[in-house]
Amino acid sequence: MGIVRRAQRGVVAVLIAGTLVMLLIALGVALYTGVNAYIQGDLQHLSNSMALAGARSMYDDLETDPSISVTVDGITTTALPGKTAPQFSQAKAKDAANAVFDRVTKYHPILSNNFQTSIDKLIINEEEQSVLVVLTGVIPTPFLSFMGINELDLEAKSKALYSQVNGLTTPIRINTQGVDAQGEPDPKSPYAQAINLPLPLLDGYGPDLFMDTGLAASGGYHGVRIELCTVEDATLKCYDMGKAARVYNNQGAIRPIMNKAGGEIGRVLYGKIFIDMAYLNFNKATAIRISDDGVHDALTGTDGLGKSTGRILELVPADTQIGSIRLLHYAALCREADCTRPSGLLPAPDLY
């Protein structure tokens, strides 16, 4: 009987040991499955943020030559004949993506520790206007080392497309003749129209907004003033962007508005214009207010092309038609195999 009892005790000991091993394996698998899911999620968020930051920064500034300038009605603006538009910059896209990586891996409570987070790929594709990011990481697994599993590999992949937002679903018209309180024409009170933007306008590298005031029916451009608006203390406040404007490809002009003392009080914009909010330390706008300058352009000495006006003096001036507003510096995540922009987002055009 003693021999049988000793044999039974041996079997029980083996069963207990085997059960403890299985429990340890189950505990290790459960622990690292949870850790893996948590860290994988954070790694994917970092990858997404890097791709979006790189994509929205890949078109940085106007192609300009400081030695070439155009002066129209006393205002000098830098311009280069030919294609003068936001230019592709692989360096800016990489800098923006790397800046996100450096900031997150430095301060993130998980990714900043011993998980060997690194950039495996950072590919900027000019033709596709895309940024591909692949991140890798490693989770040490000491509780599974007795099984020969010393670490778990992590990978996160994201792809984003540079995009522009169409600020107009249909062209808008602005009355060129203001009216007074009695409804009578009053050129001193130009008509203005506020346009709520489909997405916020954000400051980024280089110009942030493109607008084409559109040709008048009789030729030449109408003059307008552009204000960007944001909500402050529950009130919509608008700020003049004349000093942040730059002419596109000589297809526009900037005319100062002077007071009687000879001081400048504003600027009228003609034709195709870029706005760079950084010039005025403006970071975000939710609406645009466009005002006709209240002066018939045949009397101002410019048609927006730096020449004498091509427009005739109309008895009933035609409405100003705003044909294009584009919000720059947007990006959209997409699938690597089927990378397309969501509806409403546009690629960077070759010509505006």
Segment 299-320 shows an average pLDDT of: 48
Tell me: pLDDT of 231 over 80.
yes
Per-residue confidence band for 121, with pLDDT thresholds at 50, 70 and 90: very high
Half-sphere exposure of 299 (CA within 13 A, CB side): 9
More confident residue, 247 or 55: 55
267 in helix, strand or coil? strand
For the chain, the structural domain boundaries read 2-63+91-163, 169-322
Q: Which one, of 74, 84, 60, 87, lies nearest residue 273 by Cα?
A: 84
Residue 86's pLDDT is 74
pTM: 0.74
Contact yes or no for 188/178 (Cβ under 8 A)? yes
The token pair at 314 is: 């109309």
Q: Could you read off the pLDDT of 43-58 as tens digits, one per residue?
A: 899 999 999 999 998 8
Distances in whole angstroms, Cα of residue 327 to Cα of each of 91, 202, 216, 277, 330: 22, 8, 24, 12, 8
Q: According to the per-residue pLDDT averaged within each range, which of 2-11, 90-99, 250-259, 333-342 is highest?
A: 90-99
> Which residue is it, tokens 């522009």?
164
CA dist., res. 219 & res. 9, Å (int):
104
Residue 129's pLDDT is 92
Q: Which one, of 41, 35, 11, lies nearest residue 144 by Cα?
A: 35
CA dist., res. 226 & res. 212, Å (int):
12
Per-residue confidence band for 102, with pLDDT thresholds at 50, 70 and 90: very high
Which sign, positive or negative, has the C-alpha torsion 323, 326, 332, 336? positive
Residue 312's pLDDT is 46
Instruction: 106-115: list long-range contacts, CB under 8 Å, 24+ apart.
Output: 108/42, 108/46, 110/38, 110/39, 110/42, 111/39, 111/42, 111/43, 111/46, 111/137, 114/140, 115/39, 115/139, 115/154
% of the chain surpassing 70 pLDDT: 62
* Radius of gyration of the chain measured on its C-alpha atoms: 31
Tell me: pLDDT of 170 over 90.
no
Residue 12's pLDDT is 60
Q: According to the per-residue pLDDT averaged within each range, which of 121-130, 133-142, 298-307 is highest?
A: 121-130
